[in-house]
Amino acid sequence: GKGFNPCDVFALAAAVDDGFITESEEVAVTVELNGTHTRGMMVLDYMELLKKDHKVFIMKTMDLEKLK
């Protein structure tokens, strides 16, 4: 789309109105610290190799009209 929207704006919009999120996915995450795949970045575990019970919701699509 046109322009730039910082990710923090999306997180705030979702916290205020969960109807802002039109598609999401629940997935386990970890932070890579050893530099095997990356360094200091969040890694999404789509293959469920981490066997974690606690997961996060990742916003995949959102209603950008609600930001206007």
In the prediction, which pLDDT does 35 show?
Answer: 80
Query: For residue range 12-48, what is the model confidence (pLDDT) as tens digits?
Result: 999 999 899 999 999 999 998 888 778 889 999 999 9
* Cβ atoms 46, 56 nearer than 8 A: no
Q: How confident is the model at residue 63 (pLDDT cuts 50, 70, 90)?
A: very high
* Cβ atoms 4, 10 nearer than 8 A: no
- Cα 11 to its chain centre, rounded Å, is 9
Identify any residues that bridge with 29 across adjacent strands, giving them in sequence order: 44
Radius of gyration of the chain (CA): 15
On the question of pLDDT at 1 being above 70, the answer is no
Query: Does the pTM of the predicted model rise above 0.95?
Result: no
In the prediction, which pLDDT does 11 show?
Answer: 92
Nearest to 31 by CA among 18, 19, 45, 17: 45
